[in-house]
Amino acid sequence: MTQNITVLGSTGSIGTSTLDVIRRHPSRYRAFALCAHTQVDALFEQCREFHPPFAVMRDAALAAELAGRCRDAGLPTEVRHGVDALIELSSLPEVDAVMAAIVGAAGLAPTLAAARAGKRVMLANKEVLVMAGELFMHAVRDCGATLLPVDSEHNAIFQALPADFTRGLAAVGVERILLTASGGPFRNVALADLGAVTPEQACAHPNWVMGRKISVDSATMMNKGLEVIEARWLFDAPPEMIQVVVHPQSVIHSAVQYVDGSTLAQLGNPDMRTPIVCAMAWPERIAAGVAPLDLFKVGRLDFFAPDFERFRCLQLAYDVLREGGTAPAILNAANEVAVAAFLDRRLSFLGIARLNEAVLAALPAGPEGSLDDVIAADARARQLAGVMVADGRFA
């Protein structure tokens, strides 16, 4: 039976890899709705190839442009716009699964809607769990959704855990989760030289091909910090059970240590189609178009403890995880503003961590009682971070 897939963020790296899997398995999967932010040309080409019933742009004017181009090309795609359309097309009865790959806080509402509709949610947007982990996991459990992680590290952990890990990690003999990190492009750069880092250098990841925002997060290791928070909610793991391990080759995508001394790891080439196809086909395994790992070519594997002075953002993530409430949402919002300012050359690379820390110090966290609480905390943090960028204190 063909599964209808809504792809939130279809023009990004995860979205295009998802469509490659659909392309390889047309009898199993159908692109039902494709959603993008501003990339009209890319979304039009996807509509022309996959003929989805629906497409969504965040902006009304861009949606009108796309609708006209689809109409002129004789395509059957109905074009909509806005968050409400994303929410609807993530929760319609015809939708079997949702690939949640919108970067940042923008993906929260439609991904939560998919969970509340009981869909198979393939989660590539870690900010959903960072901002509203407790709310989201309650929705998954209460509404019978199936949650499958797509981040390569969390997908690796998922594969290394027993099927009944939801009984509790201690109950299935887990001692520690080892969350691997490449260390990004600056793991060997002198700390004194990081102030002069350019956006181009920060976006040149040594192993993975990713978007600009996540590439910068990888360079600061904020991405790993967000993944620590994500792992806490996905696997119901306390912070002290999650250990970050710098592994420059990105061959071991993560591992799980058990009380009997065993360590189970998932290895593979750094290609996001592997975790994507794992989530799409689970519990089956199907071809992803990824070459098998050649251990002879790999030759060696290295591991290091993270430097929390160099990667201050990683420490901040552990701090807000322990604080709880809306603290992770505040950190995530501040970081999104900081990274955007860095990419616009209005903030230095080291200023990202300084700005994040200043916003956390200025805004006390509240309880994560509702989605409105989370959204309000996010808005306050963005507003304050914007003011701090503008006054130049952290440049």
Task: Check pLDDT > 70 for residue 219.
Answer: yes
Distance CA 331, CA 355 (A): 10
Q: Rounded to two decimals, what is the model's pTM?
A: 0.92
Q: Sort 1 into a burial class: Cβ within 10 Å, 0-12 / 13-18 / 19+.
A: exposed
pLDDT at 237: 96
Mean predicted confidence (pLDDT) in 60-74: 97
State the average pLDDT for the chain. Answer: 94
pLDDT of residue 220: 95
Closest CA to 385 of 65, 223, 393, 266: 393
Mean pLDDT computed over 76-102: 97
**What does the block give as tokens for 74?**
């004789």
pLDDT of 210 over the 80 cut: no
- Mean pLDDT of the 310-319 span: 96
Q: Are 172 and 147 in contact (CB under 8 A)?
A: no
Q: Among 267, 290, 291, which residue's Cα sits nearest to residue 20? A: 290
User: Is the confidence at residue 269, as pLDDT, over 70?
Assistant: yes
Average the pLDDT over each of 21-25, 154-158, 247-251 and give the range with the smallest value.
Answer: 247-251
Contact 46, 18 (CB under 8 A): no
The predicted pLDDT at position 209 comes to 61
Given CA atoms 332, 337, 343, 346 in this order, what sign does their dihedral have?
negative
